A and B are shown apart, each in its own frame.
Chain A
Amino acid sequence: QQQVKQSPQSLIVQKGGISIINCAYENTAFDYFPWYQQFPGKGPALLIAIRPDVSEKKEGRFTISFNKSAKQFSLHIMDSQPGDSATYFCAASIFGGATNKLIFGTGTLLAVQP
């Protein structure tokens, strides 16, 4: 019940295309759903996050779509650029409290071809 399933494992997109990464969770107590971006040799960094009181959140070219009834959420990267090539992780946690225990998905390696 603590798992977060992520797909696809890898993704190749042409420059200017749309990248879509999907995640699903089981634990209905989760109420915080961030996406992290990791470049080689670096630590993960927060890209965008959503709480379940909204179905969509957009920040620039990045959008999270959230479907509470299906227990699924996805990341859409519009107008994908070569600089977006990185590993993307979805995560989930129970928000608030003394600690934020993020349960990460298995990661998606995105390659944007010029």
Chain B
Amino acid sequence: DTAVSQTPKYLVTQMGNDKSIKCEQNLGHDTMYWYKQDSKKFLKIMFSYNNKELIINETVPNRFSPKSPDKAHLNLHINSLELGDSAVYFCASSQPGFNRDTGELFFGEGSRLTVL
């Protein structure tokens, strides 16, 4: 029933490790996003995909690699984790268009990553 679901919800790992976060949406939306929320709750866009095509890459380090196998899934792989990567990562989806009803982003519940 969950519209946008992310796994895992919590991730604790050591510096230098590689980890992945998975996201799936069942809303039939064409566009998916990854946002990062830091310890001060600041939300910043990282990536956006539309129909499996990368649209936005917001100067994120190359260690972060998103992958969209199909338009319902957007995964995030992070290599060589650093302390500063500790944050809550949110996946979201939207249905693009110019209709007054479009524009809403539907967020998942977040994946809290802690790098030790």
Contact = CB atoms under 8 A, between A and B. Distances in A.
Nearest to B33: A99
Interface in A67-114: 87, 89, 93, 95-104, 106-107, 109
Contact of B42 (A42, A43, A99, A106): A106
Contacts of B48: 99, 101
Interface in B91-111: 92, 94, 96-98, 100, 102-105, 107-110
B107 A101 contact: no
Give 3 nearest A-B pairs by CB, closest first: A43-B107, A98-B50, A104-B43
Interface string B20-60: 00000000001101000000111111001010000110000
A10 B59 CA distance: 30
Contacts of B92: 43
29 contacts: A41-B109, A42-B109, A42-B110, A43-B4, A43-B90, A43-B92, A43-B108, A44-B43, A44-B90, A93-B103, A96-B97, A96-B98, A98-B31, A98-B55, A99-B48, A99-B50, A99-B56, A99-B96, A100-B31, A100-B94, A100-B105, A101-B45, A101-B48, A102-B105, A103-B45, A104-B43, A104-B44, A107-B43, A109-B41
Interface stretch (A21-29, A45-53, A58-66): A45-53
- Chain A contact-residue range equals 20 to 34
A30 interface: no
Interface residues of B, number: 29
Contacts of A107: 41-43
Given A43-B92, A89-B43, A100-B31, A95 B107 contact: no
Interface of A: 32, 34, 38, 41-46, 49, 51, 87, 89, 93, 95-104, 106-107, 109
A106 B23 CA distance: 25
The winner among A44, A99, A101, A107 for most chain B CB atoms within 10 A is A99
A104 B104 CA distance: 13
Contact of B107 (A45, A96, A97): A45
Contacts of A97: 96
